[in-house]
């Protein structure tokens, strides 16, 4: 066994990895990562929950090297961590929950193509270095710096594979609509990172549907089951529409605002489907719904149309995704500042 | 890791000692936090009645959160700060535990003795999370897991059994022996 192999085992033994081998963080590799930060190396980030430790740019760079990031990915990693620390993200709750929730990282703007962050086919799957390693770097930071460990502070009943990595880009060129970050108030030329507490995406397979209205009915129907997070949490669901679905909807005159309105008005579950104690709990936890919407016989998946968030991503095929969200008060979007 | 840089940060949060305990409870005004976990209201009402009836406690504000993931608001904390001590119920899932810990540490930091009830499945997570905030002596009482799906009669029984422990944690500092046991358990 060589010295390098020994070091690999040492990282495992000391609990420094996510269960997969890491790239060895040599001083040279870390220095290259730090140089790409786009901000001074002495800047302190944090404290990072759940053990509330302050990170230097260098410490985050070490974890980014271990995750396999190229230096040019580093500003995305840093911006994602900045966004996660926004109180509206509720990172500490996400980290410590029994829920499957974990931060989903969404990249918008020119940087997504520059870094080859997958927004097309299999974007949640394996095989794309940027998606895999940016998401992994963030998770390693939460583990190695934040001190979040399964069974110690992370009390997830099941967890999910997104806790290894959970990073995508929007397919802006394949969308008939404005990009997600532009809807959030940024310029199309800005590059941004958005984070939100998210469970694993649920597939929406629109077999046999020809029209935008039929696609919309399936999207709404996918959110009508019991037990998903957007019944209990008022965060509002995230829809990741495949480009074919977006095209069909747009062709039939159904835009983003129409989808938001339709989900708000139609994705409502009769309270008769729930037991008495669940209804009592919903009336308390979703009190804004009962106070403001005027439909006391149902519970909707969003309190307001604007809480339904939509982006376009994916490859060819009649599939879209319903991503149940939770804990975060809203998606948090931050502009990426890059080295001049 | 001979040639490698360390990805971790060793620095811990500055230590926060718990507030001094009350000694005895007679005529002391207690605040209560129901974090809205199912059965927390039943458990707390039983505890409050016992503390008033048997120990002469004055029952102060009962704050009910919208969801266990929610922190106490500034107004909540200001209201609780007028009490001699606080009892919180309960942590029996991830965020009901971690957010109760956050609130407990904040109340203790302000000098308000606070006792939080956790189910056995989450008590160690509570200690770990409190330690991460600098509180190595979190005053907690454990009850069997689960609480939110337990029958109401069982909840009442568990509340009755927990009363003496809650009184102990409100009135007496953690002994060195108990602290040593906690360290061993880690």
Q: What is the pLDDT of residue A7?
A: 81
B60-78 average pLDDT score: 96
CATH topology of domain B29-185: Rossmann fold (3.40.50)
Instruction: Identify all chain B residues contacting A31, using CB atoms and an 8 Å cutoff.
Output: none
Residue of A nearest to B41 (CA): A281
Chain A residues lying within 8 Å of B65, measured CB to CB: none
Domain boundary assignment for chain B: 29-185
Q: Name every chain A residue with its beta carbon within 8 A of the beta carbon of B3.
A: 3, 7, 24, 26
Q: Given CB atoms, is B5 within the 8 Å cutoff of chain A?
A: yes
Give A154's DSSP letter. Answer: B
- Identify whether residues A178 and A38 lie together within a single domain: yes
Residues of B in contact with A156 (CB under 8 A): 94
User: What DSSP element (H or E) covers A321?
Assistant: strand A319-323
Share of chain A above pLDDT 70, in %: 98
B93/A98 Cβ within 8 A: yes
Question: Are the C-beta atoms of B107 and B139 separated by less than 8 Å?
Answer: no
Do residues A127 and A233 share a domain?
no
Kindly state whether residues A24 and A105 are assigned to the same domain: yes
Task: Give A-chain residues touching B138 at CB under 8 angstroms.
Answer: none
A107 and A209 in a common domain: no
Residue in chain B closest to A98 (alpha carbons) equals B94
> Which pLDDT tens digit goes with each residue over A106-147?
999 999 999 999 999 999 999 999 999 999 999 999 999 999
Q: pLDDT digit string (tens) for A61-96?
A: 999 999 999 999 999 999 999 999 999 999 999 999
Question: Could you tell me if A211 and A153 lie in one domain?
Answer: no
Task: Identify the band that residue B182 occupies on the pLDDT scale cut at 50, 70 and 90.
Answer: low
CB A138 within 8 A of CB A79: no
Q: Please report the pLDDT score of residue B167 as a whole number.
A: 98
Report residue B2's pLDDT band, with 50, 70 and 90 as the boundaries.
low
Residues A150 and A33 in one domain: yes
Nearest CA-CA distance, residue B118 and chain A, Å: 14
In angstroms, rounded to a whole number, what is the distance separating the alpha carbons of residues A333 and A84? 9
Indicate the pTM of the whole model: 0.95
Write down the pLDDT at residue A40: 85
Residue A4 has pLDDT above 70, yes or no: no
Q: Do A140 and B11 count as a contact with CB atoms less than 8 A apart?
A: no
What mean pLDDT comes out for the span A252-268? 98
- If you average pLDDT over residues A310-319, what whole number do you get? 98
Residues A154 and A231 placed together within one structural domain of the fold: no
Percentage, residues of chain B above pLDDT 90: 88
Q: Tens digits of per-residue pLDDT, B147-165?
A: 999 999 999 999 999 999 9
Contacts of B50 (CB under 8 A, 6+ apart): B159, B160, B163
Closest CA to B149 of B94, B105, B100, B92: B92
The sheet with strand B114-119 has its strands ordered as B58-64, B29-34, B85-91, B114-119, B140-143
User: Considering chain A, what percentage of its residues have pLDDT values greater than 90?
Assistant: 95
pLDDT at A2: 45
- CA R_g for chain A: 21
Closest CA to B47 of B63, B68, B64, B30: B30
Residues A290, A194 share a domain: no
Same domain assignment for residues A338 and A319: no
The total of structural domains in chain A comes to 2
Amino acid A1: pLDDT: 34
In this structure, how many other beta carbons lie within 10 angstroms of the beta carbon of residue B8?
A: 16
Distances from the Cα of A133 to the Cα of A122, A140, A211, B27, B128, angstroms: 16, 10, 38, 59, 29
| pLDDT classification of A339: cutoffs 50, 70, 90 | low
Chain A residue with minimum CA distance to B186: A152
Of B4, B66, B125, the CB nearest to A152: B125
> How far apart are the CA of A16 and the nearest CA of chain B, in angstroms?
7
- Tell me what pLDDT residue A42 has: 82
| Average pLDDT rounded to a whole number, residues B41-65 | 97
A42 with A190, same domain: the answer is yes
B14 burial (CB, 10 Å; 0-12 / 13-18 / 19+) is: exposed
pLDDT band at B183 (very low <50, low <70, confident <90, very high): low
More confident residue, B139 or B175: B139
CB within 8 Å: B95 and A287: no
Kindly state whether residues A247 and A320 are assigned to the same domain: yes
Q: Is A240 found in the same domain as A126?
A: no
- The parent domain of residue A153 ranges over 1-199+331-340
């Amino acid at each position: 066994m060589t010295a390098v192999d020994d070091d690999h085992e040492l990282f495992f033994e000391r609990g420094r990895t996510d269960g997969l081998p890491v790239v060895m963080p040599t001083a040279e590799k870390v220095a290259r990562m730090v140089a790409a930060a786009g901000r001074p190396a002495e800047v302190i980030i944090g404290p990072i929950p759940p053990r509330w430790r302050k990170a230097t740019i260098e410490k985050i760079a070490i974890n980014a090297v271990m995750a396999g990031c190229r230096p040019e990915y580093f500003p995305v990693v840093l911006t994602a961590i900045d966004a996660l620390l926004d109180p509206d993200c509720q990172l500490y709750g996400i980290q410590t929950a029994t829920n499957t929730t974990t931060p989903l990282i969404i990249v918008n703007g020119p940087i997504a193509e520059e870094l080859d962050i997958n927004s097309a086919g299999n974007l949640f799957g394996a095989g794309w270095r940027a998606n895999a390693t940016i998401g992994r770097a963030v998770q390693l930071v939460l583990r190695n710096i934040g001190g979040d460990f399964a069974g110690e502070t992370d009390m997830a009943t099941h967890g999910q594979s997104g806790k290894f990595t959970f990073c995508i880009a929007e397919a802006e060129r394949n969308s008939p609509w404005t990009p997600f970050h532009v809807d959030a108030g940024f310029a199309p030329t800005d590059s941004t990172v958005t984070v939100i507490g998210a469970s694993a995406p649920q597939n929406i397979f629109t077999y046999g549907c020809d029209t935008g209205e039929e696609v919309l009915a399936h999207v709404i129907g996918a959110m009508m089951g019991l037990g998903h997070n957007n019944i209990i949490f008022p965060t509002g669901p995230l829809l990741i529409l495949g480009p074919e679905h977006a095209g069909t909807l747009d062709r039939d005159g159904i835009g983003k605002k129409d989808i938001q309105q339709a989900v708000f008005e139609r994705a409502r579950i009769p309270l008769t489907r729930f037991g008495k104690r669940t209804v009592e709990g919903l009336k308390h936890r979703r009190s804004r719904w009962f106070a403001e919407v005027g439909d006391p016989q149902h519970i909707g998946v969003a309190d307001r149309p604007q809480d339904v968030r939509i982006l376009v991503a994916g490859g060819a095929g009649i599939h879209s995704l319903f991503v149940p969200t939770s804990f975060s008060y809203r998606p948090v979007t931050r502009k990426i500042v890059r080295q001049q | 890791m001979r040639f490698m840089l360390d990805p971790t940060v060793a620095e811990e949060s500055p230590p926060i000692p718990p507030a001094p305990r009350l000694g005895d409870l007679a005529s002391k005004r207690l605040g209560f936090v129901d974090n809205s976990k199912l059965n927390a209201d039943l458990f707390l009402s039983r505890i409050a009645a016992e503390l008033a009836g048997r120990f002469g406690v004055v029952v102060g504000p009962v704050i009910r959160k919208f969801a266990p993931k929610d922190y106490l608001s500034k107004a909540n904390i200001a209201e609780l700060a007028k009490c001699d001590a606080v009892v919180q119920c309960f942590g029996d899932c991830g965020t009901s535990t971690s957010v109760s810990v956050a609130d407990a540490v904040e109340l203790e930091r302000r000098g308000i003795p606070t006792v939080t009830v956790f189910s056995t499945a989450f008590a160690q997570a509570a200690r770990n999370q409190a330690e991460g905030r600098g509180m190595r002596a979190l005053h907690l009482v454990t009850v069997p897991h689960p609480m939110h799906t337990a029958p109401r009669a069982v909840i009442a029984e568990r509340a009755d059994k927990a009363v003496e422990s809650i009184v102990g944690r409100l009135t007496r500092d953690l002994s060195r022996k108990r602290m040593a046991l906690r360290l061993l358990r880690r």
